[in-house]
Chain A
Amino acid sequence: MRQVDDAVAEVFLAMIGRRCAAVEPDPAIHAPSSTEHISARIALSGTLAVECAVEFPTPSAVRLTAALLGCHHAPWDDAMVADAVAELCNMIAGGWKKRLGQPAWGADLSVPAISRGPSPSSDRGLNTGATTITRAYAFDGSPFVVHLTML
């Protein structure tokens, strides 16, 4: 998971100037009854068959958008918040692929797919799935998770 941690840290430090580190996952955040989530998924295909997904509780996604745009008042709408999550997923997937070295470099990244609704983690089961690895992170106290699913 070091490669994912490093990819996440690099994105936040370069684009936002903030540290972002792995934290203990909080199952309460991902309970089906909890706040709405925004997720982005990118498939890596070819020499890899993996899906990289990021999942943000909506308040975390709004804070991410504000941080990326460098402002705290809302010159954005729901579409831009989803766009920010998609861009983050894109950069994390690309950074993870870069760190895996050959032959992962031959893998293609799909365009991000966005979904909204209850936490998809409630279906996956945090840190328990045989084919999904989940890593929890937080920036400025805002939690989110990254899932890597072997396809």
Chain B
Amino acid sequence: MRTRREQDLLAEAIAQLRQQGLAEPLAKDLVDETVRRIADCGLRNPEPGTGHRPIRNPQTAIRNVTGWHFKLAAAAVLLLAGYTVGRVTSPDIQELRDALTPAVAASLEPALRERLSEEMKDHYQVALAGTYVHLKEELTQQYRDDLNRYAMQTLAASNATTNALLGELVQAIDTAQAQDLRRIALTLSQMEAKRMQDRTQLAAGLVSLASHMEDELSQTKKVLAPFLLDDRSREIELLPQPSKTSPNERTKE
């Protein structure tokens, strides 16, 4: 029972301990600092006697230890070493190192250069992507601002134009109404003058007609007066002598 509980305790403790390592992520500053320290160490302390060449980028060096670059470089180094050992009669380590150093450097340089180029390319791509996103956001914001400003300016100009046109329209309407009123007044005054003139002419005509008719009547009266006098006297002659009858009897007749 106790052993069982001890096993559970140990398993639980191991599980907690494994979980503990996941709580804190690796900081990039620490990686950079470590790379810098390794680079300093590699530049300051080249391995004497081993022919080890200090590598400026230890991260690349460690990564390439098992890579095909290293195998290729190792094959080249082996070939050159065999060739050099065959050529060199003296087994002096210093001479051997002097002979190997340029070859090793020449064989490692393309691989390191290619690796560095790839890393720089990745770095530039990341930086370029960030710059592109930033630039795109800035341009979008500027485009929106310009569009809003242009819309406001256009709206203001449109309002001013509309107001000016409306003013002109009101002024034109007022002018037309004034002209119409002046024409109406002129026409009314002309009509009144014409009416007064017609009335005067009518009155004069009536007076003239009346006087003319009066003249005609008097002339007619003068013409008819002799005839009337002649006929009267003839009738008087032709008429019987009045009898001694009463007026009532004459009426019956």
A and B interact physically: no
Interface set of B (CB-CB < 8 Å, partner A): none
